[in-house]
Amino acid sequence: MPHRFELIPMPASREPATLLAVDRAVSEIRRGRFVAIRGAGGTAVLALAAEGATPETLSQLSAASHSRLSLMITARRAAVLELVQAAINPVHLSFESELTADAVQALADPLAEVSLKNLHIKAVETERYSGNCASVGLAKIARLLPVTVVAPLEDPNADDLAAWTARHNILLVDAGDIFQYEHTSARRLTIVSEASVPLLDAEESRVIAFRPVDGGLEHIAIIIGNPAQSDDAVLARIHSECFTGDLLGSLRCDCGDQLRGAIQEIATAGNGVLLYLAQEGRGIGLVNKLRAYTLQDRGFDTLDANEQLGFDADERVYLPAAQMLRQLGFTKIRLMTNNPEKVETMMRCGVEVTEQVSHAFPSNEHNEAYLNTKAARLGHQF
């Protein structure tokens, strides 16, 4: 197959720098450190992921900020805890007494026992587009539980925020960069390598790796046969990675069957493309997916388990898929999926879907309830 998938030049911008700042902030909070988030009007908050909350880190956060600690959780998690009924924006919790690491863990982790009356919650308020809200988005990008400990920066010596954070060795990131991260990352995807990789059911195949310019998560395109870059719609499958199903052969889902089945079907058709997106667990990450499995074993279905953790039922973003198709020269696809919402989303991303191609496989005793939930609550068509 000829080498013809070339990078489409993109205009220069400050996007690489903004991506790098968010990636560095992700690294910090995954290590249990706090970061400074600059909001509108010169405001700033210090934020720590709930999973990094210990008596020591909470003490350090309080001392650095010169303010009282509070908590940010998603509207989904707040609803599960019966703190709100119909919110869509992150929820800010303040407390009558000092916030402890045990209280943080109880509010963040649905696998922990929680008694709200013992947590002395003072106020429950929804917020939008603030530094506090951005901290929850940062935790999601980091694939951590979407709960953060926050404190407004009230140090009287912090008038020059950049200088203050540099002096205290605290990473500074803009709230707006966090809010735009996933869209910016998708726009900055570039082809970084490709090679011929004969597959078991499709020997004439090439694997093409895409990476955002900051070196973030890589997505893969598998080109089978020699699909023409023309006005004809190419047969395509957009597949989110599933370590347990794709690699281990888990019977809890149908992902492995869908991946191998798509390769076989595209090879039988003669040519097509499979996009393999780095969005494990419908975008919540492998660790959180395993937490969701534990909740499912306790009686929750796949959607409710995600929401218990504080996530939406589906956290995936399909802009990377649209960008990859654009760079490969495909503007029209015949999409192999059982999910009508995926068709609509790709259309909104500028990709014309000329046909929804059924892509269903027999259930087993372990995934039958999972598939029934997808049909009943997500509208999947099997």
Residues annotated as part of the active site: 314, 316
| Residue 223 vs residues 226, 227, 255: alpha-carbon distances, Å | 7, 8, 19
DSSP-derived 3-state class of residue 345: helix
| Among the listed residues 94, 90, 101, the one whose alpha carbon sits nearest the alpha carbon of residue 128 | 90
Query: Measured between alpha carbons, how far is 8 from 190 in angstroms, rounded to an integer?
Result: 8
Strand duo 70-73 + 91-95: pairing: antiparallel
| Among the listed residues 171, 99, 180, 101, the one whose alpha carbon sits nearest the alpha carbon of residue 134 | 180
| Helices first, then strands: H and E counts in the chain | 15, 14
| Residue 17 vs residues 125, 189, 271, 366: alpha-carbon distances, Å | 33, 14, 38, 45
Q: Which two tokens stand for residue 46?
A: 């210090």
Please, where are the H alpha helices in 81-234?
Answer: 101-108, 131-141, 161-167, 175-179, 181-187
Which residues, in sequence order, are CB contacts of 83 under 8 Å at separation 6+? 91, 93, 116, 121, 124
